[in-house]
Each structure stands twice: as C-alpha cells, then as structure tokens.
Amino acid sequence: MKKLSKLASISLAGMLLLAGCSGGKEQSSGTYDENSKAEITWLNILHTASPPTDTILDKIEEKTNAEIKFSWIPDASKEERINTALASDSLADIVTLTILENSSVRNALKSGMFWNVEDYLDEFPNLKEISQDVRDSASIEGKLYGIPFQKDLARNGVVLRKDWLDNLGLEVPKTVDELMEVSKAFTENDPDGNGQNDTTGFVDRNDLIYGAFKTLSSYFGTPNVWEMDENGDFIPEFETDGYVKTMDYMKELYSNGWINKDFAVTAKTDQQQSFAQGKAGIYIGALFDAKNLQTMAAGIQDNMELALVNDMVSESNPERAIWAANNGIGGLLAFPRSEVKDEAELKRILKFVNDLLDPEIYTLMTYGLEDVHYKLTDDDSYEIINQDLWTQEVQPFAASRPKESGYNLKDPNPIKALADEMIADNANYAVLNPAYSLESATNTSQGSELQKIITDATYQYILGEIDLDGFKQAVKTWGDSGGNTIKEEYKAAYEQTK
C-alpha cells in the first residue's frame, strides 16, 4: 500500500483515495495481536480552520503503536460529506459520526454496515469503564454500533453578577423564587450604582433548549424531552406541569420587564455581549460560559465578579435535577465492515481507541507537549505557553477525544475551574431522555416540523399572545398531526429493546 500523507486531503477525492487504499489492505489472519503495529485510517471531523501538523500525531502514533492516516471533513460540511461517504461506501477503518439523528446515518447504522461492538468493550480496561447508561443511550434498536463520544452529561447552570448581589445586600439565590427576586432587584434597584435605569435581571436568547428555558424547566421537575411512565407510555415534556410552570415563570419575568424584552429574537452573541457590557446580571447556559463572559467584559466591566449556581431547586421540585444534553453522547466512532474485515482487526482497532482514553494521550490531545505547548503550575493546573503553536498543533485533536473530561488537570482560570467542578457534580443529578436511542419513523420524517408547533406556542404563551387554552390547543394540533404516532412508535421501539 502506497504511503499516504498523514494529513489527507479534506476533499471527497481524499475520502475516495482513502477507501481505495484501505480496500486493498492485507486482511487479518484472524489472530488478534495487541502488540502488532496497526495501520489505521480515520475519516474524521475538523473543527478548526486547518488540520493539525504532525507534532502531536507522531506522539500519538508512538504511544498507540499505530500509523494513523486521517481524512478530515470540515465541520461546516460534515452532514453532506458523511451522507455522500455512506452512500458511496467511501469510508475508513474509523468513521466519526456526530449527527446521530441524521436519517442517512441512522439507516446506515441499522443496516449492518458497521460492527456492533457491545460484546467487545469489556475486554479493554478503558472501554470497560463506559457506563451502561452511556452504552444504552448511544445504542440504536438495542445495538451499539461504535464507541460513544462521552461528553459532559449536564453543563448548564446559572451565572450571576456577584458584585451586584453584594451592592444590593443580597445572597446568592438557591431557589427559582429567590432568583426571581434577584431579577427584580437587578432591574429596579440600580445594582451597578450609576443612578440610571439601564439594567435587567435576566438576559436570554432565542433558544428554548440551550438558553434559560430548559434549565429552568429542570428546576421545576420537567422531564428531559420525554418521560416514560410505569406502563411504558411516552409523555412529551410539554404535556407536564413542570413545563407549564416554566412558561409561567418566564411570562412573569417578561411581563414585569425583568428580562430583556427582545429575548425571543436575541442571538447568543448579542446575549453574551449584553451581559459583558453590564446591561444584565443573570445568564443561564453552560457554566463554562462564565469564563467567556469574563473575557468579553475585560476593559468594559473590569470589576465584574461572578457567582455560579448548579444546585437550584423549586418549591414544586425540591430535589436537584438538571437536563442532560443528548444523554452525554457526542456521536460514535464507528467501524465499517467493508474496511474492518474480521474480529481480529476490529479488536486491534478497539485497542487503539482504548489507548486514546489513557490520561497521557488525553493530555497530548488536549494540552499538547509539556514545556512546548503548556506548563504545569504549582496547583496542578495547566497554562498554555504558546497559544499560536497550540492552536496549530493541538487544538484540532480536541474533538477527536473519545471522552472530553474526567481527568486530573484543571484550568488555570479560577472561574473555569469552578465551572468544570460544577459540571462534573451535575452528572450526579442529570435527567436523561428515555427516548434518545429509540426509533420513530414519524419523528425522523416530521419531528422538526412538529416541534415548531410547540416552540411557537411556547413563545406565544410567554409573550402573552395566547392563554393556557391556546397552548393546549397547539399541543392537540401536535398530537393530531403526528405527535400521537410518535408516542406509539417510541413505546413499540422500547418494547423491542426489552
């Protein structure tokens, strides 16, 4: 096999070349030798402007006893490129699949194109540690067609202006009612002391999932997208009391002016800029956004102090709960049968993925080389010492880590380190979506269209354009238009996994 460049072209031609070479690969004898040097091709997603140079790749190859040949697909065109690669069987030994809801991807997985790896995980020490919840969530129709990308289960929480709380003599809120009072005070009581009526409590954006709504909804006990009752029936979140309580809460914020009036049409960047410029004091989103907000405020709000909250509750739901985005699944590392010919070859590639989960290789893919890209500080945090070199040689590998957290090194920024600790703690209270891995043909074909009915009605209710009867009518329309069929299909799909 001709030697390919370690950094293959990101073009489709590059993928086809990769498939042609791997197709001519010598087939395994059927004997698994974990000490053999592996030649592995990897069709992967690139989240940076350009592929990495060889510096870190050489070290990964050395540590894993493998020769890795990448074909990079830009993140912006991943859906089209992956669909084309699947349709033409232009694949590689490892294929990164990050859009599991894509119908082409799901159909390819269900068709038997990729290996079911469930029975092999426990043979490898790091893969064995993948929890059953993660395995179940990443499965399709009860089968696990790859190694799950393990993401933080629950990243969200509340970020507040601690200095504004201090100015007004207020404590950090721990309940949604206390948060409401803080929002009122931040709007009406001049928290920045400039003598002007120019602040609001909340600043939010046009996103019912990653903005404030879904996190607040967790505090009211709303299930994560779907709830399954004792009879195996599936109930959508918007048919529960918690969802209505969340709409009422947001409606009160809006009607009193304690949230930016244009939140329903505000982009995330504008939301963050507003907070960084001192126009609002409550931001709900990913806790690690606190570091970004702090950075954006430099030179504008240099005295800004932040407080993070991840243990907020409500009177109706006194137990901590926080929704888990995609059940902590960021996709799959999948292994096509057309490229990985037999069990012995599969096990050697699984050994490679297992090795990527070692702390030493995680450090390489996250921080780079010590004293070249980063240095360790006295408190075991890392400090990037050459940002440009790190960006060029290390950052492109970050999205390829099979697990994004759970290792010992911590961020040198105190607010980011605190956010990381709180996100890890959130995992103990994460609420999973029981339908995440289940199949519904109607949801695949109509899900987005049907969800728009609910999204529009939710905003209309919060903005006072419809009442509760109007919202319930929208829910009925959702059900009559296909939603009730989705419920039935999820129930049937769940029964098949038992």
What CATH number is associated with residue 282? 3.40.190.10
CB-count burial class (<10 Å; 0-12, 13-18, 19+) for 276: buried
Q: Which residues contact 1 (CB under 8 A, 6 or more apart)?
A: 21, 24, 25, 39
Residue 215, both tokens: 């996190």
Do 259 and 384 lie in one domain? The reply is no
Q: Is residue 184 part of a domain?
A: yes
Domain-located, residue 142: yes
Q: Are residues 208 and 334 in the same domain?
A: no
Q: What is the four-CA torsion angle of 28, 29, 34, 35, rounded to 10 degrees?
A: -100
Q: What CA–CA distance (Å, rounded) separates 305 from 326?
A: 32
Q: Hunting for tokens 């053999």 — which residue is that?
A: 36
Q: Could you tell me if 282 and 202 are in contact, meaning their C-beta atoms sit under 8 angstroms apart?
A: yes
Q: Is residue 451 part of a domain?
A: no
Q: Which domain holds residue 302?
A: 156-323+432-437
If asked whether residues 176 and 102 sit together in one domain, one would say no
**Residue 251 covered by a domain:** yes
Low-confidence spans in the chain with pLDDT less than 50? 1-29
**Do 124 and 211 reside in the same domain of the chain?**
no
Euclidean distance between CA atoms 147 and 131, whole angstroms:
12
**Is residue 310 domain-shared with residue 192, that is, in the same domain?**
yes
Query: Which of 349, 380, 401 is the endpoint of a domain?
Result: 401
Pair (115, 194) in one structural domain: no
Instruction: Tell me whether residue 421 is in a domain.
Output: no
The candidate with the shortest Cα–Cα distance to 72, out of 53, 99, 100, 88, is 53
Q: Examine the domain organization and report whether 165 and 209 are in the same domain.
A: yes
pLDDT at 376: 87
H-type helices in 278-320, by residue range?
Answer: 289-296
Judge contact between 204 and 266, C-beta under 8 A: yes
Cα 458 to Cα 244: distance, rounded to the nearest angstrom: 9
Domain tally, the chain: 2
* Chain centroid, CA 477 distance in Å: 30
Q: Identify whether 143 is part of a domain.
A: yes
In a domain, 468, yes or no: no
Task: Give the whole-angstrom CA distance, residue 222 versus residue 244.
Answer: 9
Same domain (yes/no): 305, 160:
yes
Q: Do 307 and 331 belong to one domain? A: no
Q: Tokens 């232009």 label which residue? A: 90
Single residue among 412, 437, 462 that ends a domain in this structure: 437
Domain boundary among the residues 437, 462, 486 is at 437
Tokens standing for 33? 């030798």
What pLDDT, on a 0 to 100 scale, did the predictor assign at position 410?
Answer: 73
Residue type, 351: K
121 part of a folded domain: yes
Dist CA 389 CA 396 (whole Å): 12
Is residue 284 located within the same domain as residue 273?
yes
Q: Which two tokens stand for residue 158?
A: 């509340």
Residues 256 and 201 in one domain: yes
251 and 355 belong to one structural domain:
no
Beta bridge partners of 282: 160, 202
Query: Is the Cβ–Cβ distance between 36 and 66 less than 8 Å?
Result: no
Q: Is there a contact between 195 and 167 (Cβ–Cβ < 8 Å)?
A: no
